[in-house]
Structure 1
Amino acid sequence: MVLALVLIALGLGLFAWKVSSFGFPVKPEETSEVWVVQAHVAVDPGAGSLKVSMQLPTRTPGYGLSDEHFISRGFGLAVDDKPWQRTATWAIRRAGSERSLYYRGVYFHDENRQEIAPRPQFPNPPLLREPFQTALLEIVDEVRQESADIASFTTSVLVRLNDPAPEDNLALFVEGPLKLDKAHIAQLLLSGARIPVLTIQGVRLTDDSNNAPIQTFIAAHDGEQWLYFDPETGDSGLPGDFLVWWTGDDPFVSVEGGRLVNSEISVKRQAVSSLSLATERAELHGSRIVEFSLMSLPINIQSVYEVLLLVPLGAFIIVLLRNVVGVRSFGTFMPVLIALAFRETELLAGFLLFVTIVGVGLTFRFYLEKLRLLLVPRLAAVLIIVVLLMAVVSVISHQLGVEAGLSVALFPMVIIAMVIERMSIVWEEHGPANAMLDGVGSLAIAIIAYLVMGIDLFAWWVVVFPELLLVVLGLTIALGRYTGYRLTELFRFREAVS
C-alpha cells in the first residue's frame, strides 16, 4: 500500500508541477494569450549609405519571447545580442526613396523575474551649477530624514515630485531651466543620494493599438534587486501589462546618413495553443522536459503511443470490473484489445462483426471437436478459420457496399481464435449458459473500456501527462490488495452477509 501511495503522489506531483510551472494545458482546447508587438521605422535616406539602429527588448520581466522576425527589403541586418541590451542595425549602400523597416516579436505572459541590468556600482553624486547643487543636497538631506531604506527614499522623492505645489528647492528642477521630465529629475535626485538608478522604456500590452506610446519607469537598486517605480504616480512595481523594451537614455531609433520620418509600436492580442506556449515557456526556463517527452518523438511514433498509452487505462477498467464488480470474461486483457479494435471500427459495427465472427467460428470449432485433434493443431485450425471468415466478411461487405465490414481486418485474429477456443471449452465443461455469460461479460467490459478510452480528455492526459499512468499503476496495485466481497457476490450472498 505504501508503494501505491508513493506512485500516486509522484504522478500527481509531476502533473501539478508541469501545470503550475510551465502552464501545460489540462484540456486539449485550451488557448493562451500572446501579444504580437511590431515596431515600424520609416526613414528618408540621404545621398550616401544609410544605417539605422533600433533598441530591441532584451530583459522582459513578466514576459517571455516566443518568436521574432525582422523585415527589411534590401538591407543588411546585424543584431548585437549583448547580455543586457540588444540592438538591431540595418545598413544599405544606396537606399533611394523612403524606406520602411519592421521588427515583430511574439510575447507571452511568464512568471520570470529577470533582472533588467547587472548589479551596479554606487554612482558619484552629480556636480551641478548653483543654485541647483545646493538645492539637490538639501532635498537629499530632507528625504533621507523621512525614509528608512532605498524603497521609501524613492517613494518619498516621487511623492514630492508629484506634488502640485512643490517646495522651492524642488521647484528649481520641476519649473526651472533644466526642462527635465519627472523620470530624469528623480534619477538626478537619487544619484545625489548615491543610489544606483536607471530609466526603463517600454509599452503597455493592454488593448490592440496601432501606436502604443512608450512609457518611462525608473528602477532603483537596493543592493539585492531592482525596485521599479512609476515617476508619474509614485506607484511601486511594474504593471502586469508592461513590456520592458530597453533601459537607459539611448534613443529608440538612431539614423546615420538619413532622416527619421516616423517610428511607432503596434500591439495586437492573439490566442494560440496553450500546449505550444507551454513548450516554449519550458525552453525559456532551461527545462529539458519537452526534449524527454513523447512530444519530441516523430509524428508517426506519437500516433502509435496515443493508442498504446490508452491500454493501461483499459487494463485498469478490467481490474476494476473483475476484482471489484465481479464481471466474468474470457482471458485477462482480451477485452482491452477488442476495445482498441472498436476504436477503429466504431462500436456498433465492431460489435456486430465480433459477434458474427465468434458465432460462426464457434460452429466450426464444434465440428473440429469431432475430429479429436491435439491442442496446437486445433488452435491453428481455428486461427486459419478465423482469418478465412474475416476475408469472406470483408469481400461480401465490399460487394454489398457496406464499408463497415472492411474494418473486420482490424480485429486481433489470435485473440478471437483464443476466445472461440475458450468459449467452446466452457460450453462443454460448464454448459452453454456459463459460456454465454462469460462471452457477454467480455463484450460488456470491452464496450465500457472503449467508452472510457474514447474520452478525449483521457487521451489528452496520457500523451501530455504520461506521468498520470503512475497514478493508474498505484490504483491498480491498491486494488490488487483488495480481498473483500465483489459487488456481484454481495448480491448473491446478501442473506449471508446480512
Structure 2
Amino acid sequence: MSRVSLCWIVAFLVVAGLSLAWVRHTTMQIPLKPGRDTGVWLVEARVDFTAEQAPVLVSFSVPHNPPGFRIFNEQAASSGYGFSIIESKEGRRAEWSRRAAGGPQALYYKIQITPQPGLQPGPTDLPPPMEPVFWEASEATAAKALIDAATSTSSTPESLTRELIKGLGARAKEQNAALLLARYKPEILLTRLLAQAGVPARVVLGLFLEDNRRNQNLVPMLEVFTGKTWILFHPETGQQGVPENFLLWHRSGPSLLDLSGGSMSRVNFSMLSQSIPALEMARIQSSNQGFSFLSMHHLPLDQQGVFRLLLLIPMGALVVAIMRILVGIRTSGTFMPVLIGMAFLQTSLVPGLLYFLAIVGAGLLLRSYLSYLNLLLVARIATIVIIVITLITLASLTAIRLGFHTGIPVTAFPIIIIAWTIERMSILWEEEGMREVMVQGSGSLGVALLAYLCMRQPLIAHLSFNFPELNLVIAALILLLGQYTGYRLFELRRFAAMKGSLK
C-alpha cells in the first residue's frame, strides 16, 4: 500500500509541476530557453490638428485584441493633455482632453505588439439591424444585375462576397460595375451590394506592417457576417482571412477620429520592427495576466537575487541524493555539499575552494586545541562560531586589500553549518582517524563541484527561477530515489573477489 501511495504522489507531483509550468509558458509567454529574442512591432499613431482656442476633446479608435497579434505595451505622449483609455461595447478608444488650446497640436499613441500566429480571435458582436439601400434608377439596375450574376454562382455569404469582388474587378468588361465604381469606392460599394442581398457587412481599417515605414495611412478592408462570425476580405483581390503582417486597427462603432474644439485633423502612422529578449517581454506583460501572482518578477530586486539562489537548492539536493544513494559517495553531512556549491556560485569556483579549505582547515586546527580544554558541547560550538566569523572577516578583508573584490558571501556559507562541520570533522578525526576525514571531506567537495556545475547551467537557472513549479518534479524524482534498495556503485568493488572465485 505504501508503494501504491508513493506512485500516486509521484504522479501527482510530476503532472502538477509540468502542467503549471506549461500554463505559465502559454499565458505569460515566458520562454522555455534563456537568451531567446522575440520579434516586436512598434506602431505609432500621430494625430495632428489645429486647435481653435477652445476646450479640446479628441477621441481616437485604438486596436483591441487584433487577430494575429498580442498587445503587451501601450503609451501616449501628449504634453498638457489628460489621457485615458475608454472601453465600451462600441470598441476601445483613446481620449485626450484639455481646457483650452490654440494653434497646431500633435498627439501620439504608441503600442508594442508581438505576432501570435495561433491567436485569431474573431469579433463576437452581432450586426445592427439592416437598413434599406437606396439607389438612383440607373444604379439600381446595375446593382441588381451584379447581385443576380453573383447569386447564381454562389451559395454562402463568403462565396457571394468573392463573386461580387470578381465582378467588380472585371469593370473593364462590365458596364454595370464601371457605372457604380464611378461613384462609390470598392469597399463602400460592396457593403451596399451585400446589404441589398441580405448579408451584413462593414468597412474596417488596418495597417500592413513594413519595417521602418513612416506617414502611412490605414487601408480599408471588408468584414462580412456569415451568421456566426465575421470574416475579413480584401475588397480588391478577394483574399479571405487576415493577411500576413496586417494589423486590424479600427473595426466598428464611431468614426476613427472624433475632434471637438479643433479642425483640419489627420492621422499618420509609423512602424518599426524590433527584437527584444523574450524574457523581458514576459516581464512587461506579466502584470496583466491572471497567472502573474506566482511570478517572481514582482518581488523587489534584492529579494529576487535571494530567490535565484534559493530555488537552485532542489537541483543541488537531487545531485546529492543521486551521488549518495546510487553512487555511494560519503559526505560530511547530508546536504552540506549543496551549501558549498551555492557558495561557489557567488564566489566563483577557485576563490570558493580556497575560502572553504582555508576556513575549515584553520577551524580544525583551533578545534583540536579546544579539545584539550574539556569544554561543554554548547560552549565549544559557540566558540567555533566566533572563530569562523573571525576567519571569514579576515579572509574578506585580506582579499579586498589584495585587489580581489569577491568576498565571502555569508548567506551562502551559513556560519552555524560550517561550525558544525568543523565540529563533526574533529570528532570524526578523533574516532575514525584522519583517513575518514579525508574521505568524507573529499566526497563533500566532489559532490559540491557536481552540484555547482549543474546549478550554474543557464538553462537550469532560467527554469528554476521562472518556473518554480518544476521543483515538484524534482521532489518526485527524489521520492523515487528514496525507494531504491539496491547496491551502490562503489559497493560493487566489494564483490569483485567473489566474482573471480566463482570462475
Give TM-score, length-normalised by structure 1.
0.87
Q: 2:23 aligns with which of 14, 17, 20?
A: 17
- Output the aligned Cα RMSD: 3.1
Shift in alpha-carbon separation, 1:281–1:298, aligned structure 2, 3 A:
closer
Q: Does 1:133 align with 2:135?
A: no
Question: 107-116 or 461-470: which moved more?
Answer: 107-116
Aligned-partner Cα distance in 1 for 2:334–2:279: 36
**Map of 1:437 onto structure 2:** 439
Aligned-partner Cα distance in 2 for 1:389–1:94: 71
Q: 1:196 aligns with which of 183, 197, 200?
A: 200
CA positional deviation for 1:437: 0.9
Shift in alpha-carbon separation, 1:99–1:418, aligned structure 2, 3 A:
closer
Aligned-partner Cα distance in 2 for 1:89–1:14: 39
8 Å CA contact 2:133–2:192 kept in 1: the answer is yes
Q: Does 1:413 align with 2:415?
A: yes
CA positional deviation for 1:378: 3.7
CA positional deviation for 1:145: 3.1
Shift in alpha-carbon separation, 1:361–1:86, aligned structure 2, 3 A:
closer
The residue type equivalent to 1:209 in the other structure is R
Question: 127-136 or 207-216: which moved more?
Answer: 127-136
**Map of 2:291 onto structure 1:** 289
Aligned-partner Cα distance in 1 for 2:313–2:93: 53
Shift in alpha-carbon separation, 1:122–1:456, aligned structure 2, 3 A:
same
Shift in alpha-carbon separation, 1:100–1:482, aligned structure 2, 3 A:
same
Question: 263-272 or 194-203: which moved more?
Answer: 263-272
8 Å CA contact 1:393–1:405 kept in 2: the answer is no
The residue type equivalent to 1:123 in the other structure is M
Q: Does 1:64 align with 2:70?
A: yes
8 Å CA contact 2:73–2:284 kept in 1: the answer is no
**Map of 2:4 onto structure 1:** none
The residue type equivalent to 1:472 in the other structure is I
**Map of 1:275 onto structure 2:** 279
CA positional deviation for 1:181: 2.0
Shift in alpha-carbon separation, 1:21–1:414, aligned structure 2, 3 A:
closer
Q: 1:210 aligns with which of 203, 214, 217?
A: 214
Q: 2:315 aligns with which of 308, 313, 316?
A: 313
Question: 5-14 or 464-473: which moved more?
Answer: 5-14
Q: Does 1:99 align with 2:105?
A: yes
8 Å CA contact 2:223–2:232 kept in 1: the answer is yes
Q: Does 1:426 align with 2:431?
A: no
CA positional deviation for 1:345: 2.7
Q: Does 1:84 align with 2:90?
A: yes
Question: 20-29 or 217-226: which moved more?
Answer: 20-29
Three-state SS of the structure 2 residue aligned to 1:39 is: strand
Question: 232-241 or 371-380: which moved more?
Answer: 371-380
The residue type equivalent to 2:402 in the other structure is G
CA positional deviation for 1:365: 2.8
CA positional deviation for 1:299: 2.6
Shift in alpha-carbon separation, 1:105–1:402, aligned structure 2, 3 A:
closer
Cα deviation digits, residues 213-254 of structure 1 (max 9, x gap): 321111111121111111111111012311112135965445
Aligned-partner Cα distance in 2 for 1:480–1:392: 42
CA positional deviation for 1:322: 1.0
CA positional deviation for 1:67: 3.3
CA positional deviation for 1:384: 3.9
**Map of 2:125 onto structure 1:** 118
Q: Does 1:332 align with 2:338?
A: no
Question: 109-118 or 222-231: which moved more?
Answer: 109-118
Aligned-partner Cα distance in 2 for 1:445–1:234: 67
**Map of 1:264 onto structure 2:** 268
Q: 2:388 aligns with which of 386, 391, 395?
A: 386
Three-state SS of the structure 1 residue aligned to 2:107 is: strand
Aligned-partner Cα distance in 2 for 1:261–1:152: 38
The residue type equivalent to 1:469 in the other structure is N
Q: 1:302 aligns with which of 301, 304, 308?
A: 304
Cα deviation digits, residues 380-402 of structure 1 (max 9, x gap): 4443443444445456556x636
8 Å CA contact 2:85–2:92 kept in 1: the answer is yes
The residue type equivalent to 1:42 in the other structure is D
Shift in alpha-carbon separation, 1:84–1:422, aligned structure 2, 3 A:
same
Q: 1:224 aligns with which of 204, 223, 228?
A: 228
Identity value in percent: 34
Aligned-partner Cα distance in 2 for 1:437–1:262: 80
Cα deviation digits, residues 269-321 of structure 1 (max 9, x gap): 2233423433555565xx42112332222333222211111111111110111
Three-state SS of the structure 1 residue aligned to 2:468 is: coil
8 Å CA contact 1:350–1:408 kept in 2: the answer is no
Aligned-partner Cα distance in 2 for 1:297–1:401: 36
The residue type equivalent to 2:108 in the other structure is Y
Question: 305-314 or 75-84: which moved more?
Answer: 75-84
The residue type equivalent to 1:198 in the other structure is R
Q: 1:55 aligns with which of 55, 61, 67?
A: 61
Consecutive unaligned residues in structure 2, runs of 5 or more: 1-6
**Map of 1:237 onto structure 2:** 241
Which residues of 2 match residues 336-415 of structure 1 at below 5 A? 336-394=338-396, 401=402, 403=404, 406-407=407-408, 411-415=413-417
**Map of 2:468 onto structure 1:** 466
Consecutive unaligned residues in structure 1, runs of 5 or more: none
CA positional deviation for 1:480: 1.5
Three-state SS of the structure 2 residue aligned to 1:103 is: strand
Question: 78-87 or 359-368: which moved more?
Answer: 78-87
Aligned-partner Cα distance in 2 for 1:341–1:101: 53
8 Å CA contact 1:75–1:90 kept in 2: the answer is yes
Give TM-score, length-normalised by structure 2.
0.87
The residue type equivalent to 1:37 in the other structure is V
Q: Does 1:479 align with 2:481?
A: yes
Shift in alpha-carbon separation, 1:98–1:468, aligned structure 2, 3 A:
same
Q: Does 1:155 align with 2:157?
A: no
The residue type equivalent to 2:495 in the other structure is F
Shift in alpha-carbon separation, 1:475–1:135, aligned structure 2, 3 A:
same
Aligned-partner Cα distance in 2 for 1:455–1:300: 22
Aligned-partner Cα distance in 2 for 1:357–1:4: 40
**Map of 1:8 onto structure 2:** 14
Three-state SS of the structure 2 residue aligned to 1:232 is: coil
Shift in alpha-carbon separation, 1:424–1:45, aligned structure 2, 3 A:
closer
Cα deviation digits, residues 142-163 of structure 1 (max 9, x gap): 3233222222222222222223
Aligned-partner Cα distance in 1 for 2:419–2:292: 42
Shift in alpha-carbon separation, 1:249–1:307, aligned structure 2, 3 A:
closer
Question: 48-57 or 179-188: which moved more?
Answer: 48-57
Aligned-partner Cα distance in 2 for 1:256–1:293: 44
The residue type equivalent to 2:189 in the other structure is I
CA positional deviation for 1:62: 2.4
Aligned-partner Cα distance in 1 for 2:93–2:26: 33
